[in-house]
Structure 1
Amino acid sequence: MQVAVNALQSGGSVVWVDACYEIVGSRFKDFLSGVHTSERAATSNQVSADNLLDKFNHFTTPSLPHLLALLTHESSAFPSTDTSLIVVDSISTLFALAFPKSAENTSNQQTSVKKSEAAHWALGRRWAVMGDLISKISRLAATKNIAIILTSQTTTRIRQETGAVLHPAITGTAWDTGISTRIVIFRDWLFQGSGAASTQEEYIPGVRFARVMKAKGISDEGFGKIVTLAIEKTGLREIIVDPIDIERNGSPVLPVSLLKRKREEVADSQSEDEEAESDREFGWAGDDMIDTEAVLD
């Protein structure tokens, strides 16, 4: 929402596509009001929040075909020439609905084989759709000079070396290549005290952490800088926190290098995608859809 408000304030139009829950209009207006309040520029030529909303175009896509029809078919009317930002909220939900994970029934071997073949076909089809979608979205962003933001949930995956880890709900070679920048936002406990040896620490509620995982096509293999922020009624507020507090109180984070698996470790794999190979090792044909709190607001 904050990025959309900033784009509107800069004079551009915004396209917001809801793939799961509809955007809360009252909350978005609060964000717009927060911009005006913070700037304290109550002049006669100031653009009102209602005028900004006239440049906010809202769409709802109940299924993946609806989203494909909206973004992948070129039109002279959409997006408009003054569009500077397109946001697709919770795009992973549409893929989960279009390609659901099916439980295998081993009581009937013939039926199980058919279901396994169908699952392999669906998984291959899923990758094909993902690759085509991200390719056309990238072309749309480049040809129209539009920033496109896709928000997605995370899933939980089990690995022998690390146990349960969070993983992007949508991933794959083609998809990751098409993503220029990736930012993960997550929640964790944060206690802030007067020093490392302080026993009187104050719990800070509603804290979120943002970290750039990939920027301009280059992935960050290290831990990188983590920004601490809070989502308030009228917008985002950065929280200045000592890195020692984050390290001492936060949950352990594994570097990317520890999460990679060698292709040889997965037997009888027919996929070129490392993560799908890991899924098959545990009998998963698709992604788990365990919702977490690592959701972009």
Structure 2
Amino acid sequence: MIVTRRISLTRLLGFTWPKLLILAVFTLAACLVMDYLARGLLQALSYAAGFLGTALAFLIGFRNNAAYGRWWEGHQIWSRLKYNSRSFAMLVQGLIQDGEGVDSIRRQLVHRQAAFAWWLNHFLRKRQPGAEMEGLLDPAERQAVAASQHPPLALLVRQGRTLRELAESGRLDAYRHVRFTELLQAFNEVLGSSERLKKTPFPMQYTWFMSYTLVLFLLVLPLSLAGHLGYWSVPFALLIGYAYIMLEYVGRYIENPFENQVNDVPLDYIARTIEIDLREMLGETDLPEPIQPRGLGYLY
């Protein structure tokens, strides 16, 4: 997620250079051929450019609204995970009765919940867990979870098994067990909703149609401006065309919020926040450092 108000022009050009190159080539071609084409024909193309630009603006606006909705939904899903994880840790701290080994069980449940946030993060981004798992899961459990087909779900199953054992041993009454079960269901809902966003892409037919329309508009725009402005059409074509390119870029890169890019929901930051909050609730003082923005203000 971009958390700075100042974005490097070099970075923007790095994101959008393919279509900007197309625009520059079309503009150069317009400069080369406009002296050989009738001025009236070039001016008539302004009507085509106007209609295409208007239609493209509606298409991009609709697509960007839908893309932002997907990005915002991803942020809401992970915000719920953060809130419910804190509630889970508070229940673990206050609702499990005292007894032999309870402190160890509390730590195991809370650490496993923090591990769930990290593992879901890596699962969505198709990465392997790293050093952040150290101290959260013992090596045997981590190896067993990693060997499963769905590691985040395996962690939830282990949480449920531990809570069931506590209930059967009398350390957890029925009401409290139900409350924990509701939270596990909420975590499973977070898991399922994240997978739905990850595996259900924006309709590609719509994306292709808009991309082709944008390329056609970038072809017609320099020619239509050349009929009215001559060589002054070059800077105006680049400015107008680049505005459309940037708007299309925004929608294309925020529609998939879990792709490990700078426009994503900051999963590393949220997972680390969950880990810090939960471990601090256990009374631990040796806490990891919060995730800091990288480079020019990009938070992962």
**Normalising TM by the smaller chain, what interval?**
under 0.3
When normalised by structure 1's length, the TM-score is 0.24
Larger Rg: 2
Q: Select the structure that is richer in strand.
A: 1
Q: Select the structure that is richer in helix.
A: 2
When normalised by structure 2's length, the TM-score is 0.24
Higher RCO structure, 1 or 2 (CA under 8 Å, sep 6+)? 2
